[in-house]
A and B are shown apart, each in its own frame.
Chain A
Amino acid sequence: MRSYLISRLLGMIPTLAVISVIVFVVIQLPPGDIVTSTLDRLQAQGVDATEEYVQNLRARYNLDKPLVLQYFYWAGNLLTGDMGYSHLYSRPVNELLWERLGYTLSITVSALMFMWIVALPLGIYSAIRQYSIGDYIMTSVALVGVATPPFLVALVFMHIGFEWFGVSTGGLFSPEYEDAPWSLGRVADLLAHIWLPMIIVGLGSAAFTMRILRANLLDELNKPYVVTARAKGVGPAKLILKYPVRIAINPFISTIGFVLPSLISGEAIVSLVMGLPTIGPLLLTALLNQDMFLAGSLLMWLAILTVVGILLSDILLAWLDPRIRYE
């Protein structure tokens, strides 16, 4: 188990290195850079930048150096925790990022929890009562859930909230707590608001994983080891949970790895629609304005979160299934 852990942890390093190269290339791809967009802005204000000013600007962002060197400057700073300076917001990226990253993480992790809590019992029920009315209802609802994009669900929820209950469902805080310092009241206010994005972001994945669990469990239910356990006198509830479910949740856990990125991207769109102060809208703004340091750091962080998520699901799998552990 320990060697497995170490090898997986070491494996993360090249993965992230490759991702950082890709991220760097992607943010370099569109024509222009911070300097050109700054000049555009200055020009729009009627200010003519001198050649010297432009040179200084290029030098400050290392833009006068070859691309490869630029990458190493960028990556090296990332490693030391310096994510650069957001030209757009005129603030260090670090400052901008932490709070939003926190919100993104809380929404994503709570959506993941929501997904589990909903999908697990419903998937089990659907499988052991296959072709019952309850099963038909749930699989049909789940099909709709899988097919509906989260932003649409968000719009529907907001519409219902506004039209029927007269409440504005956007944002993560009530106006009075919006810019207040952290306090118990603010935490409570956050909790009172976060459940809606949590449900909206988690709904599609919950439906998806429920269907996976149902299919897996149906495969396992009639396996000989279940019959053996039954013949041994194991009670009905324990029989289902200890034997087939235990095997059927294996793929269920490994889906965390690929559900996580979709949760994060789903969260981005939902946040735009609902006006949530998370990473998604910030990333979009940064990309639109070619704020390279900000966009690069954000993309890098999303990549790190995803890689860590996959790592966690792999560790969980190894812990649950000895067959993986012993390889």
Chain B
Amino acid sequence: MMDTVLKVRGLAVDFKTDIGLTHALVDVGFDMPRGKVTAIVGESGSGKSVTANCIMRIIQPPGKIVGGTIDFAPESMDPFEIVSLGKRDPRLQELRGGLISMVFQEPMTALSPVYTVGNQVAEAILCHRKVGRQQAWKEAAEMLERVGIGDIDRRIRMYPFEFSGGMRQRVVIAMALVCHPEILICDEPTTALDVTVQAEILTLIKDLQNELGNSVLFITHDIGVVAQLADKVVVMYQGRVVEIGTVRQVLKDPMHPYTKGLLAAIPGLAPKGEPLATIASVVGDTDISRPYPLISLPDGRQVSMPREQIPGAII
């Protein structure tokens, strides 16, 4: 039996809008294996980031978790359920940044412009451990060096606006890892960076994960990144999970029509000179905008489609 660090079940999130409720997440469920990289892929608006925010419990109004459970089994303390944590539960503060931390999409705005880099990284330590300021700054410096920021004595006293985008993202990563969280959530961490820096950051995340042994939840719409990093893939569409499997299963042999469409829409794989594939809401015989329950298949993968359309499924 695989060791599961995070178990999401039936997660539902509604956004109250002027025209009524928007169901941002409907019955989202997946497991995260410990010490591995789980990727959530899907197009914009499919609920990837909302899922991540639920895990951190930082869903902002008008968004609201209306159902489901997130069971978290940290190594350092007793397992607990995240959705039902009270606002004043000390475990909630410990969870944020201590047990689970997050790297955001926009490194240019994810840091406050009026505090030094050292201050913001050290703060993460001071929030979670009873150490002195000096010790916190020392550890912050070590972490910043580890993510590849040189000339640390000078740079630790610099402000974020004096850093380039790639360096800022390194700072954000250092800030996320400085408390040695058990899960690192990366919410499209390379989308705002240019291509060469993207590769560096991805390598950095992968290397640090190997080194520190934490689990990673990697949110992206970039299939290439998934292939490079992930062990397990969760495909989301319109707030639902449509397919879960190992990276090999999902990328080599996609089963759900939406996953197939997604893969076909990668520019590099399409024949030159032809228009890129787009994804219609009806693919083949399946109306992918209609929800179907996730069905577990014998090879470990899960897919949400009519039972009779699953190739080789035992009905």
Instruction: Please give the residue numbers on chain A whose beta carbons come within 8 Å of chain B beta carbons, in ascending order.
Output: 222-225, 227-235, 242-243, 246-247, 320-323, 326
Say whether B97 contacts A233, CB under 8 Å. Answer: yes
For A233, list chain B residues within 8 Å (CB): 93-98, 124, 127-128, 179
Report the interface size for chain B: residues with CB under 8 A from the other chain: 32
Rounded to whole Å, the gap between the CB of B198 and the closest CB of chain A is 19
Say whether A246 contacts B112, CB under 8 Å. Answer: yes
In the complex where A233-B98, A323-B161 touch, is A228 in contact with B111 (Cβ < 8 A)? yes
In the complex where A228-B104, A228-B172 touch, is A323 in contact with B127 (Cβ < 8 A)? no
Q: List 22 A-B contacts (CB under 8 A).
A: A222-B60, A224-B106, A225-B110, A225-B111, A225-B113, A227-B58, A227-B110, A228-B172, A228-B175, A229-B120, A230-B96, A231-B56, A231-B58, A231-B96, A232-B96, A232-B97, A233-B97, A234-B97, A322-B161, A323-B113, A323-B114, A326-B159
Say whether B123 contacts A231, CB under 8 Å. Answer: no
For B128, list chain A residues within 8 Å (CB): 233
Say whether A232 contacts B111, CB under 8 Å. Answer: no
Rounded to whole Å, the gap between the CB of A230 and the closest CB of chain B is 6
Say whether B159 contacts A323, CB under 8 Å. Answer: yes
Rounded to whole Å, the gap between the CB of A64 and the closest CB of chain B is 59
8 Å CB contact of B112 from A222, A225, A235? A225
The majority secondary structure among interface residues of chain A is: helix
CA distance A171 to B130 in the complex (A): 56
CA distance A235 to B90 in the complex (A): 10
Closest-by-CB residue of A relative to B95 is: A233
For A228, list chain B residues within 8 Å (CB): 102, 104, 110-111, 172, 175
Say whether B112 contacts A247, CB under 8 Å. Answer: yes
Rounded to whole Å, the gap between the CB of B176 and the closest CB of chain A is 8
CA distance A246 to B120 in the complex (A): 14
CA distance A225 to B108 in the complex (A): 9
Say whether A322 contacts B60, CB under 8 Å. Answer: no
For A246, list chain B residues within 8 Å (CB): 112, 114
Say whether B110 contacts A224, CB under 8 Å. Answer: yes
Rounded to whole Å, the gap between the CB of A206 and the closest CB of chain B is 25
CA distance A326 to B120 in the complex (A): 19
For A222, list chain B residues within 8 Å (CB): 60
Say whether A247 contacts B113, CB under 8 Å. Answer: yes
For A231, list chain B residues within 8 Å (CB): 56, 58, 96-97, 101-102, 104
CA distance A223 to B104 in the complex (A): 12
Rounded to whole Å, the gap between the CB of B17 and the closest CB of chain A is 15
For B110, list chain A residues within 8 Å (CB): 224-225, 227-228
Say whether A247 contacts B127, CB under 8 Å. Answer: no
